[in-house]
Amino acid sequence: MDQIIVEASPRETRGKNAARRVRLTGQVPAVIYGGKGKSQALEINAKQVAAILRSASGHNTIFKIKIKDDEQTAILKDWLVDPVKGHLLHVDLLRIAMDVRMHVKVPVHTFGEAQGVKLQGGVFEIVTREVEIECLPSDIPTEFRMDISGLMIGMQLRASDIQVDPAKIKILTDPTRVLSHVVTLRVEEEKPVEAVAAEAATPAEPEVIKKGKKDEEGEEGEQAPAAEKEKKK
C-alpha cells in the first residue's frame, strides 16, 4: 500500500475570521500534537483529509504530514464538521511512533441473516458499533466482522466474542458489552372486541344525579332564610 502524504503548512494566525479565510482557500485549520514534538497549528488540504475519512480504514488511516521539508507520521484524532454543509471545520492530528502501542476505536460490522429473524420472527438490533483496542499502529484492523447467522431470539454477540491475536491486539472494551442481539418484536396487546363493546355500552353516570344533589343543596339554602324569619316573629 502506498504511503499517503498530506500537505500542510504552519498557521500563523488564529481566530474565527482567520479560520474562515483558511477554509476559503481549500484548506482546513488543524493542530498536530503528541509524541516528542510540541503542539503546532497547521492548515492542511481539506480534500485529502476528506478522502482519508472516506477510505476503508477511515480515521485509523496512518499517513505522513509534510510540513515544508519535514514529514511526521500521524493519525486523525478528532475532527469537526459543519452540521449543515458537511464541510470540515477543524482537524486534530496525533503524532504516532510505529513501535509504540496506542489506543484506537475500530468499527464492528455484521454479516449474515440471524435465524431468530428468519425462523422466529424476531428483530435484529445493533447495540454497539465500535470497540476500543490497544495495539501497534501497523496492527490496527480496518474493522471487525461478526457473523450473526446463528443468533436466535434472546441471543447476543458480546465484545468477548471478537476473535483477535492476543499477542498483537488487546480489546479494552468491557468484554460483557453487547454488540448486537435478536429480540422479540414488541406489539401493544389489543383488547378483545367483546371488551371494547362492553366499555362502549356502559352508560356514563347520569347527569340528573349531580343535578339532584345541587337541587337539594339549593332547597336547604332556601329553607334557611325562612327559619330566620320564624325566629324574628
Residue 151 has pLDDT above 70, yes or no: yes
55/73 Cα distance (integer angstroms): 18
Which structural domains are found in the chain, ordered by start?
A: 5-97 (2.40.240.10), 103-183 (2.170.120.20)
Strand runs labelled E in 34-191? 40-45, 63-67, 70-81, 88-95, 102-111, 123-126, 130-135, 144-147, 156-158, 170-171, 178-183
What's the pLDDT tens digit per position in 72-97? 999 999 999 989 888 899 999 999 99
Neighbour tally for 42: CB within 10 Å: 20
- Give the pLDDT confidence score for residue 227 in this predicted structure: 46
Residue 232 has pLDDT above 90, yes or no: no
For a pLDDT cut of 70, what percent of the chain falls above it? 79
- Give the pLDDT confidence score for residue 219 in this predicted structure: 43
Region 54-65 average pLDDT: 91
Quote helix, strand, coil % in the chain, to nearest 5.
30, 35, 40
What's the pLDDT tens digit per position in 155-175? 999 999 999 999 999 999 999
What's the pLDDT tens digit per position in 35-44? 888 899 999 9
